[in-house]
Amino acid sequence: MSKVNDKVQKNIQDLVKDISKNPNHWQAYVDLISLLTVTDELVTAEELALKSLSLFKDNDQAQQALLYATGNVYYTAADYARAATFFDKITSKKLQYDAIVMQAQSFYAQNKFKQALVFALTAVQQNAHDLKIQVLLGNIWLSLGDLSNAKKVFETVLHLDEKNYAANFGLGLITQVTMPKDNSWLMKAKQIDSKQYQQDASRLDELITIMLGSQKNGTKSE
């Protein structure tokens, strides 16, 4: 077992002890659910999350944190529809931005691009410097066949970080459709992260076909 795994297991054990000694310490439940999630102990994480939501049903602060943690359990398990129902209940100002981002990601993962767009646009309005949500927004526009808006978003990302792999690859996709013989963006993406590029390049034709189909026929997403 690696040192990292040793540390994680010790943290889990410490949290279990904390909960045993202080059963009303809701933050320990949240932290334990999160650790179980990142270690792929998803069944245990789900059981603890649902139990915790019941235990702290009269504590609004605890409920909000637990709703977010529970949403992450289902998102990690690729149960995106169920994850979205938990993120949708979050009203806490502290967690609301993160919940909106997760909503965007959940709908995107379900190919529900129009719903994903609403949440992604909201998130970008709240934090235009979050490059991850900007990239997601660009990918949503691509999936909807709107190359113009996708291009603007990826250019915005590169203005903030010219070595951003996802934005370079996104512009490369667009260029492959419009000017396939003059595609420096894909070359740059390959230089930035050759391993990721190899994975994405294997789907290049498929991605271009999807984009062209969305442009001609309109997306079939909800």
Provide block-wise average pLDDT over 10 residues at a time, the chain (222 residues).
Answer: 70 94 96 95 97 97 98 98 96 96 96 96 96 97 92 96 96 86 88 93 80 61 52
Q: Which residues contact 161 (CB under 8 A, 6 or more apart)?
A: 131, 167
Distance of alpha carbon 106 from alpha carbon 177, whole angstroms: 27
Per-residue pLDDT at 4: 54
Q: From start to end of the chain, where are the E strands? A: none
Per-residue pLDDT at 8: 85
Per-residue pLDDT at 141: 95
Distance of alpha carbon 98 from alpha carbon 65, whole angstroms: 11
Per-residue pLDDT at 137: 98
Per-residue pLDDT at 190: 94
Distance of alpha carbon 113 from alpha carbon 107, whole angstroms: 7
Per-residue pLDDT at 71: 98
Per-residue pLDDT at 2: 47
Architecture of the 1-91 domain: Alpha Horseshoe (1.25)
CATH 1.25.40.10 fits 116-222, yes or no: yes
Fold match flag (1-91 vs 116-222): yes
CA 128 from chain center: how many Å? 16
pTM over 0.75: yes
- Residue spans of the domains in the chain: they are 1-91, 116-222
Give the alpha-carbon dihedral of 115, 118, 121, 123, to 10 degrees: -90
Per-residue pLDDT at 217: 57
Per-residue pLDDT at 1: 41
